[in-house]
Amino acid sequence: MTPNAPTLSPDAGTGFDTVLVVDFGAQYAQVIARRVRELHVYSEIVPASTPFEELLARRPAGIILSGGPASVYADDAPAIDPRVFDAGVPVLGICYGQQLMAQALGGEVARTGTSEFGRTELAIREPGALLDGLGARQTVWMSHNDAVRAAPPGFRVTAATDDSPAAAFEAPERGLFGVQFHPEVSHTPRGLDVLASFLARTGARPTWTSHSVIEASVERIREQVGDATVLCGLSGGVDSAVAAALVEKAVGSQLTCVLVDHGLLREGEVADVQQAFGAHSDVRLITVDARERFLALLEGVEDPEEKRKRIGGEFIRVFEEAARTHASDAGFLVQGTLYPDVIESGEGHAAATIKSHHNVGGLPEDMDFDLVEPLRWLFKDEVRRVGEELGLPPELVWRQPFPGPGLAVRIIGEVTGQRLDLLRRADAIVRAELRRAGLEGPPRPRPDGQADPEHVWQAFAVLPAIRSVGVQGDERTYGHPVIVRAVTSEDAMTADFARIDWDVLERIATRVINGVPGINRVAYDITSKPPGTIEWE
Ligand code: GLN
As a whole number of angstroms, the distance between CA 58 and CA 89 comes to 12
Q: Are 385 and 515 part of one and the same domain?
A: no
Q: Is 382 a catalytic residue?
A: no
On whether residue 197 sits in a domain, the answer given is: yes
Sign, CA torsion 446/449/454/459: positive
Count the domains in the chain. Answer: 3
**What pLDDT, in 10s, does the model give residues 254-272?**
999 999 999 999 999 899 8
**Cα–Cα–Cα angle for 168, 173, 178, rounded to 5 degrees:** 20
Of 367, 348, 341, 344, which Cα lies nearest the Cα of 356? 367
Same domain, 385 and 443: no
Contact 44, 13 (CB under 8 A): no
Tell me which residue of 250, 247, 318, 329 sits closest to 287, measured CA to CA. 318
For residue 284, being part of any structural domain is answered with yes
Residue 78 lies in a domain: yes
CATH number of the domain where residue 243 is located:
3.40.50.620
Whether 350 is covered by a domain: the verdict is yes
Instruction: Output the domain CATH number for residue 500.
Output: 3.30.300.10
Domain check: are 497 and 388 in the same one?
Answer: no
State whether 187 and 60 are in the same domain.
yes
H or E element, residue 447: none
Of 181, 202, 223, which residue sits at a domain end?
Answer: 202
Q: Say whether the peptide bond before residue 531 is cis (omega within 30 degrees of 0).
A: yes
Q: Which helix (H) or strand (E) holds 292?
A: helix 291-298
Claim to verify: residue 214 and residue 339 sit in the same structural domain: yes
Neighbour tally for 52: CB within 10 Å:
13
For the stretch 175-224, pLDDT in tens is 999 999 999 988 899 999 999 999 999 999 999 999 999 999 999 999 99
E-assigned strand segments in 218-299? 230-234, 255-261, 284-289
CB 114 near ligand 1, within 6 Å: no
Tell me whether residue 519 is in a domain: yes
In the reported structure, the alpha carbon of residue 143 is separated from the centroid of ligand 1 by a whole-number distance in angstroms of 6
**Ligand 1 nearest atom to the CA of residue 97, by list position:** 8
Same domain, 164 and 41: yes
Q: Specify whether 305 is located in the same domain as 232.
A: yes
What's the pLDDT score for residue 354?
34
Instruction: Kindly state whether residues 355 and 296 are assigned to the same domain.
Output: yes
Q: What was the pLDDT predicted at 278? A: 76
**Which stretches in the chain have pLDDT values below 70?**
1-14, 279-280, 346-368, 444-453
| pLDDT given at position 342 | 82
Question: Does 437 share its domain with 320?
Answer: no
Q: What are the phi and psi torsion angles at 210 (to 5°)?
A: -55, -40
The residue to mutate among 21, 76, 146, having the most atoms of ligand 1 within 8 angstroms of its beta carbon, is 146
The set of residues, in sequence order, having a beta carbon less than 8 Å from that of 92 and lying 6+ positions away, is 62, 63, 64, 65, 130, 177, 178, 179, 195, 198
What CATH code is carried by the domain that includes residue 179?
Answer: 3.40.50.880
Q: Determine the Cα–Cα distance for residues 433 and 63; give it in Å rounded to an integer.
A: 46
DSSP string across 255-270: EEEEEEE-S-SPTTHH
Residue 99 alpha carbon, nearest atom of ligand 1: 5
Domain with 111 in it: 18-202
Dist CA 177 CA 267 (whole Å): 53
Last residue of a domain, one of 159, 181, 202: 202
C-alpha 68 – ligand 1 centre gap (Å): 5
- On whether both 307 and 352 belong to a single domain, the answer is yes
Cα–Cα distance, 146 to 266 (Å, whole number) = 51
Eight-state DSSP code of residue 129: T
The span from the CA of 415 to the CA of 420, in Å, is 7
Q: Is 95 assigned a catalytic role?
A: yes
Give the global pTM.
0.82
From 363, 397, 431, give the residue that closes a domain. 397
In a domain, 185, yes or no: yes
Assign 526 to helix, strand or coil. Answer: coil
For residue 442, being part of any structural domain is answered with yes
Tell me, yes or no, whether 536 lies in a domain: no
**DSSP class of 61:** S
Please tell me whether residues 339 and 431 are part of one structural domain: no
pLDDT tens for each residue of 98-152:
999 999 999 999 997 888 999 999 999 998 999 999 989 999 999 999 999 999 9
Say whether both 71 and 154 belong to one domain: yes
Contact 109, 146 (CB under 8 A): yes
